[in-house]
Amino acid sequence: MDRERADLTGAPATMLATLYGRALHSRTANPVLHDPYAEEAVRRIDHDFAATGLRGNDALSVALRGRLFDDLTAVRLAANPDVVVLHLGCGLDSRGRRLDPPPSVEWYDIDLPEVIDLRERIYPARPHHHVLGASVTAPDLLDGIPGDRPVLVVAEGLLMYLTEADGTALLRRITEHFPAGHLICDVQSPLATRWAHLLNGAVRAAGARLTWGVRGGAELERAVPGLVLDEERTFFDVPGLERVHPAYRALLRGMGGIPALRRLALILTMHFG
């Protein structure tokens, strides 16, 4: 089997850690997220995945977040199967394959060109699935994407790598391009972005930097006209968290009692139009 090289550093390299997390967790008994695509991608990529800094509990955390994003995305697709999906900062996540949406959905996997180059070598093309190698901060990002129907934006593990100015400009461009839409995303607090090199082994190992700290959905509502918060979940509310190792669970319980720590990472669902 020919293996593909992944010469990535900084933010693009962090997706190797989340990919590895899903693959590692998928191999465990009774996984919360079964991701055979991640397992196959890890086999195909010539990379020292152990150097991503990811271990057992981290893999479970990645899988729990991925599963929640899958479930939230599936709910939206069931409510309206006639949408354009923007899967921003997709990395090598196979969400579009795992969920296998109906042909009425036009699905766009978007990430930086070096990531999309690798993605295209790993995953074969499929109908109604598009890949776009570009920075989500590019002003012309949406030019070739039909803006005549609602959008579902899924941005998992992305916004914290943008600057506040770039992130809000991206969200404004989306609300201006589409008549209506939903957004499923996660954000990290200013404290979490400052502590990322301590708290997040994968960020540290990749040499990446988190640049946008968001305190909550209300901040995005203020920054982006028309965007309305539907629900805000902390990481502590993610279903399945009780499956972590008991020692880690005790640590999380302690952290969860301190408001600033409880809100280090949030998962937001929002809508506009």
Ligand X SMILES: C[S@@+](CC[C@H](N)C(=O)[O-])C[C@H]1O[C@@H](n2cnc3c(N)ncnc32)[C@H](O)[C@@H]1O
Which residues are at the interface with ligand X (CB under 6 A)?
A: 11-12, 14-15, 18-19, 89-91, 93, 111-112, 115, 135-137, 156-158, 161-162
* Nearest-CB residue for ligand X: 91
CB of 162 to ligand X, least distance (A): 6
CB-nearer residue toward ligand X: 58 or 259 = 58
Cα-trace Rg, the chain: 18
Beta carbon of residue 224, minimum distance to ligand X (angstroms, whole number): 17
* Cβ proximity to ligand X, 70 vs 106, nearer residue: 70
Q: How far is the CB of 247 from ligand X (least distance, A)?
A: 25
In the complex with ligand X, the residue whose CB is nearer, 91 or 181, is 91
**42 or 90: whose CB is closer to ligand X?**
90
- Nearer to ligand X by C-beta: 18 or 26? 18
Q: Determine the Cα–Cα distance for residues 169 and 87; give it in Å rounded to an integer.
A: 17
Judged by beta carbon, residue 178 or residue 212, the one nearer ligand X is 212
CB of 261 to ligand X, least distance (A): 21
Least Cβ distance, residue 258 to ligand X (angstroms): 25
What whole-number distance in Å separates Cα of residue 136 and Cα of residue 169? 10
From edge to edge, which strands make up the β-sheet containing 181-188? 129-133, 106-111, 84-88, 151-155, 181-188, 265-272, 228-234
Q: Provide, rounded to whole angstroms, the least separation between the CB of residue 210 and ligand X.
A: 10
